[in-house]
A and B are shown apart, each in its own frame.
Chain A
């Protein structure tokens, strides 16, 4: 039986098995192929020292423009050796998953390297990043891959249906080599994720990924999710619970993390999911340890009624990640987040009542942020301190200050906001923009504000992941200031 080697590359979370592998395995095996997984992301993380790994991440995350030659040579050697060790006489395709824009740079180095070393194999690329661009050109990365000859074929957008056609030899299916991909309407028609065959012991997070929906019910100005999934589509609650049950019994892992942009996009379906999961636990005590986490949107109290928060607690919700982004209401409404300060207070009150930990995603330096907004941010950190102490605000994620992606609504509002990023290079263009309508909000000022929220958050006892790594990236940004 011919086999396809599915290769995942940085940057991905090393603690969890890549979900694309589990999602596509039943497609590959169902098409009569065998599939192996090579996790280059994990392999590099385990073989590079922490400084080298951090350098690689900074490069991937566009915070650092160059990769030291010595480090690249080491990465190349590890990559070739590891991939070669999986290739056998039956291997026909090397399939690369290029997950996000943070994978684009390293993909642009690894793909030609692999082509040089394995010229007899067919190369296929897929992943969200293929529809994106980071160099300011109109050429999306998938087109660049084909133009440069880094792969023979690419698949744009969701892979399940297109990959099936590809493996059957139908290269004319939408999304194969042409960015005319169509969003899958019926997610319930897709097979369950299959984690068998993956070495799950290598992933320290001990949790499995689960997809409940694709797309988003919002159109936030800073987010490009709509370019990947223009419509919000969700799976039935009953199938989600059934998939959790199946994968729990097959792997023994009882922690699930949703890949969704938001798990409560359909409040009705989310409520049903919690009801069914709680019911399943009541009927089968072996499932009682199942927990879940995922991204969540703050909504009005009339929509997310108190009973739903109680059901989340009963069903085993262990963490929700919420894009609060700014404590200033006028900024959030400019972002199109569509929830008020009162909605945040209500949400926190309910989460406190049912011990539901939150990760708050925050943005420092949104283009209309004023010094008054920044002062209000600091006030809110003090106001919500108790929620941090009681682990309701479990983590704060401040990131690297506001950066503007291609293909986001914000990138199309540059003139309205008086934003100029044209004089900078690629990396700076993302971070070092200026606005003539808010001239005080320079990158220098944004970094200063970022340092202030870090210091106050730490003083007040909030937990913040990846502080050192983010501060190192901020330092690199500061050093690059003109």
Chain B
């Protein structure tokens, strides 16, 4: 089972819903870690002194998440997001999209620049195949001489 952890000094209690059904609720003192089922997740928060608007640190399976990349909508009293099997891939894809949007305008079409400074490169399948062919040719030559 996946886990979600919440952390904020004002956090006093929470309620977690998945696809509209209440899954868990309880009191806590600043932090809590609970099971995270798949589905449309809503986590309602009760802060100390009704001081709404807190944004707790959110960790999923131990990873502190960026709420934007995780697709988490944050409201004054709750946050919600979709947690599915592809959550981690979606997070990675959102990160790539975010990186690409941050590339300076003059380099948007510069594959070399994007590769060097943002680590986004294609599979280079043709180049890999070419290198393998060269290695095979060298190997054949070596074996035949």
Count class of interface residues, chain A: 35 or more
Which one, B11-19, B23-31, B45-53, B132-140, is touching chain A?
A: B132-140
Partner of A478 from B61, B112, B117, B138 at Cβ < 8 Å: B138
Q: Which of A319-374 contact B (CB under 8 A)?
A: 349, 352-355
Q: Check if B119 sits within 8 Å of A447, measured CB to CB.
A: no
Question: Are A461 and B89 neighbours in the complex by a CB distance under 8 Å?
Answer: yes
Instruction: From known contacts A390-B92, A444-B138, A464-B119, infer whether A353 and B124 are also in contact, taking CB-CB under 8 Å.
Output: no
Residue A15, interface by CB 8 Å: yes
**Cβ–Cβ contact A451 & B117, under 8 A:** no
The tally of residues in B whose CB lies under 8 Å from a CB in A reads: 39
Contact B62 A469 (CB under 8 A): no
> Considering residues B95, B119, B139, which has the most beta carbons from chain A within 10 angstroms of its beta carbon?
B119
Residues in A neighbouring B113, C-beta threshold 8 A: 204
How far, in whole Å, are A353 and B58 apart by their CA atoms in the complex? 10
The number of inter-chain residue pairs (CB within 8 angstroms) is 107
Of residues 111 through 142 on chain B, the ones whose CB sits less than 8 Å from some CB of chain A are 111-113, 115-124, 127-128, 130-132, 134-135, 138-139
**Are B64 and A352 neighbours in the complex by a CB distance under 8 Å?**
yes
Interface presence of A468 (CB below 8 A)? yes
Contact between B121 and A465, CB atoms less than 8 A apart: yes
Near B by CB (< 8 A), chain A positions 436-482 give: 444, 447-448, 451, 454-455, 458, 461, 463-469, 471-472, 474-475, 478-479, 481
**Docked complex: B59-97 residues within 8 A CB-CB of A:** 59, 61-66, 69, 88-89, 91-92, 95-96
Contact check: which of A50, A313, A467 meets B124 at CB < 8 Å?
A467
B80 vs chain A, min Cβ distance (A): 20
Chain A positions 388-427 with a Cβ under 8 Å from a chain B Cβ: 388-392, 394-395
- Given A389-B88, A481-B138: A471 in contact with B63 (beta carbons within 8 A): no
- Chain B residues with Cβ below 8 Å from A354 are 64
Using Cβ atoms and an 8 Å threshold, which residues of chain B touch A388?
92
Encode A98-119 as 1/0 by CB contact (under 8 A) with B: 0000000000000000000000
B104 on the interface (CB 8 Å rule)?
yes
Query: In the complex the two chains form, is B62's CB within 8 Å of A349's CB?
Result: yes
> Which of A349, A454, A465 meets B115, CB within 8 Å?
A465
Which of B88, B122, B134 is A479 in contact with, Cβ under 8 Å?
B134
Indicate if the CB atoms of B62 and A353 lie closer than 8 Å: yes
Q: Which of A389, A390, A471 contacts B127 (CB 8 A)?
A: A471
A205, CB-defined interface residue at 8 Å: yes
Q: How far is the CB of A458 from chain B (nearest CB, A)?
A: 5
Out of B66, B107, B121, B127, name the residue touching A355 (CB < 8 Å). Answer: B66
Are A465's CB and B131's CB within 8 A? no
Whether A352 touches B115, Cβ cut-off 8 Å, given contacts A461-B92, A472-B127, is: no
Q: Say how far A322's CB is from chain B's closest CB, in angstroms.
A: 15
Counting CB contacts under 8 A, is A2 at the interface?
no
Q: A386 interface residue, CB < 8 Å from B?
A: yes
Nearest CB of B to A276, in Å: 23
- Let me know if B64 and A353 touch, CB within 8 A: yes
Contact A467 B62 (CB under 8 A): no
In the bound complex, do residue A451 and residue B112 qualify as a contact, i.e. CB atoms below 8 Å apart? Answer: no
A448 vs B129: C-alpha distance in the bound complex, in angstroms? Answer: 11
Given A389-B89, A461-B89, answer yes or no on A468-B115 (Cβ-Cβ < 8 Å): yes
Q: List the B residue with the shortest CB-CB distance to A395.
A: B119
Q: Evaluate contact between B131 and A471: CB separation under 8 angstroms.
A: yes
Taking a contact as CB atoms under 8 Å apart, the answer to whether A455 and B123 are in contact is yes
Question: In the complex, which residue of chain A has the Cβ closest to the Cβ of B113?
Answer: A204
Residues of A within 8 A of B124 (CB): 454, 467-468, 471
Question: Would you mind naming 15 contact pairs between A and B with Cβ atoms under 8 Å apart?
Answer: A204-B113, A349-B62, A352-B62, A353-B63, A389-B88, A389-B89, A391-B92, A454-B128, A463-B96, A465-B119, A467-B115, A468-B111, A468-B112, A468-B127, A478-B134
Q: Which 8 pairs from chain A and chain B are nearest by CB?
A: A463-B119, A467-B121, A389-B92, A355-B64, A389-B88, A478-B134, A465-B119, A395-B119
